[in-house]
Structure 1
Amino acid sequence: MIKRIIKRGLRYFQRPVCEKNKAFNQDTLCLLLSPWFDPIWYQKNYALNPQLTWCQLAGHYLTQGAMAKWHPSAEFSTTWYWDRYPDVYLAKINPLLHYLRHGHQEGRFPSEQEWQRYKPYQCVSDALWGGLSHSAFEQLTLWQSSADPRERFIAYYEQARWAYTHQDWAQYYACAQKLSLLAQDKSQQKIAWLLGVFSLYYHAQDKAAMRDYLRPLREQWQQDIDFQLAWANAQSDGQQRLTQLNQIYLSRGFTPLATLTEHLCLETLTSQASAIEDGPLVSVIIPLYNAQATIDAALRSLTEQSWRRLEIIVVDDASTDQSLAKVQAWCLRDQRIKLHRQPSNQGAYAARNAGLLIATGDFITTHDADDWSHPQKIELQVKALVEQPTLVAICCAWVRVQDDLFITQNWQPSSQLAHYSHSSLLIRREVLSVLQDWQPLRCAADSDFIRRLEMHYGEQALKLIYPDIPLAFALDDRGSLTRQSEIHVRTVYFGVRHIYHQIRQLQCFLDKHQPGVFTLPIPQQLFPHRPAVSSVDLLVVADFTQSSAEANDWLKRVQQAVVNQQSVGLFHWPSLLTCGRHFSLDYAYALAEQGVVPIVGGQLLDCDQVWVADKELLSCPVDSQPQLVNFPEGITEKMSAHQSRPML
């Protein structure tokens, strides 16, 4: 590939000077020096004017071709890249430019063909997080002794991430430290040092060791935002850490941060951003429940926003600590803050909905009571909406932090520290006339709201701004709702969140094509008030990514039970090759039947019968099954399963 780039560069710079100067900029040069842009192929494939120069052809792809979903070469697919990486599409970034400047380093792929080469590794990863960890670990163990360094890298990388998620710090350190010796390219090198330095911290709690680890890497990686964040973490003094963080903000022209005291923590963060007094009113809704330790920091970050036209609505969800008194004191200091009290504890999303009823802003956003926002966050979001009328919503990125602003990794470590913040969503008021409000659930309603927004307005109507810069800090509380086992965020791959997202995705599809015909039930575990024990006559176990015709006609079995006036529960048991796939439409048709409900792992269930569509599924045990009152031995033992086996 290096030879191809050099050859392409020589061919370009040998062209006449007058041609090189036409329509020339850094983006054009980036494409022309890339093996992924082939001007000759591009011109011929799309029958463009043969008189166009290479610069003009590159400019055409940048300004018109990508939006027309044209490919820059036979080796790079515009449509596949956008479909595979919706964050790039939402951010309205040219796909090839993103790949060249970011995607390649992040381990992304330029085309379906390249992805297929990597697919076996992704299959194991999907199985690990998608409920088949036992089988996945057998394969990862085999790869540890493979002759292929890529397989060894994947093996230790996935095991390191698993260990981090389960707070097994010794195993996290042992696996992460092997990655630097196995990394084959820049994307793997970044993963290696990022996991390496964090595992060192969790293993030894030694900031000096972190600095020693990162110092040899500074020359190569000092422009990388994640390296800068990691370097800030390595500082032993709080003010030094703040100085490093401010360098990131100043490099983008953002307001730096300060502290009210010498002690650096969320509660002492402050700023002096230039005020913007005129503009649309923004309503900010804060659900509050027993957040006496963090609400001051949240409200200070909002009252210090550069965008001054705010309506800050705090909805107290029947707190029992001093949260209410603290908010009442803030109301006396700043008339923009309003307090609304719920009659009883109903959950964060119900509190948000109560806030919507009294919000009067042109734009509406939310803010958690344990989060902190950069002083220009709302300004940047509002300006993006005002300047781009086709947009209806804006999101930004955040990082998780400890109280002393030590940045932590996401629950599932990856090659970046800043992540898409669903709770940062800022919308135009008219969106509510279409989407109404949030589902009043225990979790996952943010992502559902965004999915409904994209289904109605199109994905291009929502934009992620500054995806690598943290415009918010979220307190990393491992005891929070999203970290509790039953509704832990990891269940987004297998468990209650996964089932919920699949159902809501099918619901959106049905609403679009058959509006008002179907209303699909969602897992009972998501409701604040739910029965301790669920009850069905028949539990159907199947891989619902497959259609009924592909899996022993499980839909007919469900329909026959309904005809016999039996209630039915559906439990998803994936296969090694289907983890990560979307559910088939037959699953929606089954749930639409009277008395049919979804069942998830860990749910206490009273049932009379268990029917497994394909007993071969049971050869790979899932991580979590329903707890059957009548069959305490569990599904696998009851159905006399085969022994588990390695994946590949």
Structure 2
Amino acid sequence: MTLPTRTEQLQMIRASELMDPDWYRETYRDVALLRLDPAVHYFDHGAAMGRNPGKAFDTKYYLRNAPGAAESGLNPLVHHILSGQTSATKPPRAAGLRHMATLRTKLLSLGFTEPPLTDLRNAVQHAKVPDTRALASRELAMWEMRQKSQEGYAAALTHLAAARADARDHGFRSKLSVLELLCHHHLGDDAGARACYERAALAGEVGPDMLLARTNIETDPEMRLTLINAVLGHYGIAPVALGGNADQPLYDRMTGDAHPAVGDGPKVTVLIAAYDAADTLPSALRSLQEQTWRNLEILVLDDCSPTPGTREVAERFAAEDPRIRYIRMEENRGAYVARNRGLDEATGEYITLHDADDWSHPAKIETQIRHLLAHPDVVGCLSEQARAMSDLTFSRWAGEGVFIIPNTSSFMFHAPRMRDALGYWDSVRFSADNELIRRMQRVFGKESVTFLETGPLSFQRDSATSIIADAVLGVNGFFMGVRREYLHAQSHYRHQEGADLRFGNDWRVRPFPVPVVMRADRAERLSEAGHLDVVIAGDLRTGSASVRIVLDLIARHQAAGRTVGMFELNRYRATGVQSTRIATDLRAEAWARGVRILSFGEAVRCETLFVIDANVLKDTQRYMPSVTPGHVRVIDLPDADDTPPRDVAAGWVERSWSCTPEWEDAPITPEQNEEG
């Protein structure tokens, strides 16, 4: 076969949809910096370097797998075109990505440790798809970073280097850079952090999150402010400055430059639930007074603070600004009960939230209200935030290495439509913002709530003692424990036929069961909720063989007048399991019978703990409720494979519950009798 000329091959490359010049320049920054022609560079150098002409063509994979490609002497993309475009141009990603998502769920939400870590290490070593290897390496790195130890940060850097070697996507590598800089910082290696930043800058990997990460290695407050303003400028947000007293924390000195005020337009009511917030409330109120949208009503809802400081601060501000009003709750029932009181008091056509310890940019409310006014079909919207320490550094990353995330505390909605269709917030102690958003989307449609990509219009005050940092009840970028149970419970309720999605304002009447620690009356409930007669543990997910036995145990023990609770104790490798959630019929039966669903973060004593299937006793699981049983009975499942030896399972039981287990076989069902 006569080889095409260079000119002919370049023409083929340029004409191919698989050659993406913009992507090539963005991915390989040297090509952009030197202003090279992407097609020419790929033909002359890129293919030999293992580079890809676009997202849809993997050069290395094609040369390994397309018959005759490596021996042809042709550019790989040209070979693909001339051979009739019959060979795969990139490895199959879907299966690998699904596998990584499954491992992440098992590691982070289900609470397994060693098995998913082992599977991730195996993926790094043996996965054929580079994207899969990169994802596995990054997941291992983030796991090590969450340990918050010097050894962990050092190990994370090794994993991040491996991820970078396999990563081809520019956005993916940019997030790796953020994590790398943070690791160097936590190791006390500011020189390494600066080198990381400089390398990222040369590679075009410095975006808003990287700029915020850099605040950790800058000691000059003005330099930190410069970085913050660079982030704001990226999103077209006006800069901020430092005012106030030099003795104050930098966070409390933030102020917006003078902006044109908007005097007309509909009134927006701002609800601030506050509890012992005398130290932080002034900054929150000042930031609201600086809002360009002037037609505001600001309600400070004091959740029965034990000291007078919150009232004194609010009344001092209210004396100078008639838009501010102080309301004291008669008893402490949590922020959402207070906000529901605010819903009744509000006179604005639109309602939004603001935390008592946060600062917001002057443009925040105007940005959101203008979006709602311009899109009357939209019922609610959110802006974005980043979590800042008091010294204006940013270290609490979320997701896959980002700081800028949706701000649920910014949720703004059209009050009449919300009240008519949805009523009130769920009266739990935390997480009700997202529940209301999901309920609104269920009633009005997915597009009824807009997550605006505004950039950080709020800086949530971060500290080591904030609830988001709590190891049990905190926000970690994934759902676990009581937050996971609340997420699944609300979803089950919303999707029931005939479910009433218009919630009432009486916190004593719950629409669906939630963990006791989330209830408005948790103080009273905890004193009486610490004992159950029977607790059942097992794999409760759809498709699990344990579900039938759990239902049988519930019926049997309740018929005998015993109180019953249950919690998830899952098999790591569970054939036939179709979900990560408790089986729908099992949850429905538990709710109907008043069976408590226990979660990590709760503690109970019981007479008997039943463990269904010894296979759940093979691997340690971090997210179990604290159960103190009188004795433990392990029920063996028929035909269970890979069941651990009884001495291994017994050791697991003794370590977890300080009991020597008793053993019994699963009861025979009528169906099994018929088969026999």
| TM interval, short-chain normalised | 0.7 to 0.9
1:379 to 353, 362, 366: 366
CA distance in 1, matches of 2:10, 2:366: 41
2:188 to 204, 216, 236: 204
Q: CA deviation at 1:283?
A: 0.5
1:525 partnered with 2:525? no
SS of aligned partner of 1:592: helix
Q: Which runs of no fewer than 5 residues in structure 1 stay unpaired?
A: 15-27, 35-74, 77-110
Q: CA deviation at 1:297?
A: 1.3
Q: CA deviation at 1:598?
A: 0.9
2:174 to 190, 196, 207: 190
CA distance in 1, matches of 2:138, 2:204: 20
Structure of greater Rg: 2
Change in 2 beyond 3 A, CA 1:247/1:490: closer
Give the letter for the 1:361 counterpart.
G
CA distance in 2, matches of 1:162, 1:526: 27
CA distance in 1, matches of 2:444, 2:21: 35
Task: Tell me whether 347-356 or 478-487 shows the greater mean CA deviation.
Answer: 478-487
Give the structure 1 partner of residue 562 of structure 2.
566
SS of aligned partner of 2:410: strand
Q: 1:600–1:625: 8 Å Cα contact kept in structure 2?
A: yes
Q: CA deviation at 1:472?
A: 0.9
Give the letter for the 1:230 counterpart.
A
CA distance in 2, matches of 1:265, 1:393: 32
SS of aligned partner of 1:559: helix
Q: 1:371–1:475: 8 Å Cα contact kept in structure 2?
A: yes
CA distance in 1, matches of 2:299, 2:383: 21
Map 1:17-96 onto structure 2 (within 5 A). none
Percent of residue pairs bearing the same amino acid type: 25
CA distance in 2, matches of 1:333, 1:475: 25
SS of aligned partner of 2:313: helix
1:127 partnered with 2:97? no
CA distance in 2, matches of 1:13, 1:123: 31
Give the structure 1 partner of residue 235 of structure 2.
252
CA distance in 1, matches of 2:646, 2:369: 57
Q: CA deviation at 1:408?
A: 2.0
Q: CA deviation at 1:633?
A: 8.0
Give the structure 1 partner of residue 81 of structure 2.
none
Q: CA deviation at 1:196?
A: 0.7
2:350 to 345, 349, 363: 363
Q: CA deviation at 1:155?
A: 5.1
Higher relative contact order (CA 8 A, sep 6+): 1
Q: 1:123–1:579: 8 Å Cα contact kept in structure 2?
A: no
Change in 2 beyond 3 A, CA 1:548/1:147: closer
CA distance in 1, matches of 2:136, 2:532: 41
Give the structure 1 partner of residue 659 of structure 2.
none
CA distance in 1, matches of 2:496, 2:413: 25
Q: CA deviation at 1:303?
A: 0.7
Give the letter for the 2:452 counterpart.
I
Give the structure 1 partner of residue 655 of structure 2.
none
Change in 2 beyond 3 A, CA 1:630/1:216: closer
CA distance in 1, matches of 2:492, 2:451: 25
CA distance in 2, matches of 1:502, 1:160: 28
Change in 2 beyond 3 A, CA 1:619/1:13: closer
SS of aligned partner of 1:423: helix
1:328 partnered with 2:335? no
Q: 1:631–1:638: 8 Å Cα contact kept in structure 2?
A: no
Change in 2 beyond 3 A, CA 1:454/1:13: closer
1:167 partnered with 2:167? no
Give the structure 2 partner of residue 46 of structure 1.
none
Give the letter for the 1:180 counterpart.
A
Give the structure 2 partner of residue 268 of structure 1.
253
Q: CA deviation at 1:568?
A: 1.9
Map 1:547-626 onto structure 2 (within 5 A). 547=543, 551-576=547-572, 581-626=580-625
1:157 to 114, 138, 158: 138
CA distance in 2, matches of 1:543, 1:267: 49
Change in 2 beyond 3 A, CA 1:133/1:6: farther
Q: TM-score, normalised by structure 2?
A: 0.73
CA distance in 2, matches of 1:253, 1:188: 24
CA distance in 1, matches of 2:517, 2:381: 30
CA distance in 2, matches of 1:555, 1:289: 43
Give the structure 2 partner of residue 494 of structure 1.
480
Give the structure 1 partner of residue 280 of structure 2.
294
Task: Tell me whether 559-568 or 575-584 shows the greater mean CA deviation.
Answer: 575-584
SS of aligned partner of 2:184: helix
Q: 1:127–1:579: 8 Å Cα contact kept in structure 2?
A: no
Q: 1:395–1:421: 8 Å Cα contact kept in structure 2?
A: yes
CA distance in 2, matches of 1:333, 1:117: 60
Change in 2 beyond 3 A, CA 1:282/1:588: same
1:118 to 97, 101, 105: 97
CA distance in 2, matches of 1:174, 1:426: 42
Q: 1:555–1:586: 8 Å Cα contact kept in structure 2?
A: no
CA distance in 2, matches of 1:573, 1:398: 36
Give the structure 1 partner of residue 6 of structure 2.
none
SS of aligned partner of 1:571: strand
CA distance in 2, matches of 1:436, 1:552: 38
Change in 2 beyond 3 A, CA 1:10/1:583: same
CA distance in 1, matches of 2:132, 2:21: 35
Q: CA deviation at 1:558?
A: 2.4
Q: CA deviation at 1:634?
A: 10
Give the letter for the 2:176 counterpart.
A
SS of aligned partner of 1:630: strand
Change in 2 beyond 3 A, CA 1:580/1:311: farther
CA distance in 2, matches of 1:488, 1:169: 23
Give the letter for the 2:434 counterpart.
S
Give the letter for the 1:255 counterpart.
A
CA distance in 1, matches of 2:270, 2:302: 14
Change in 2 beyond 3 A, CA 1:303/1:461: same
Give the structure 2 partner of residue 534 of structure 1.
530
Change in 2 beyond 3 A, CA 1:113/1:154: closer
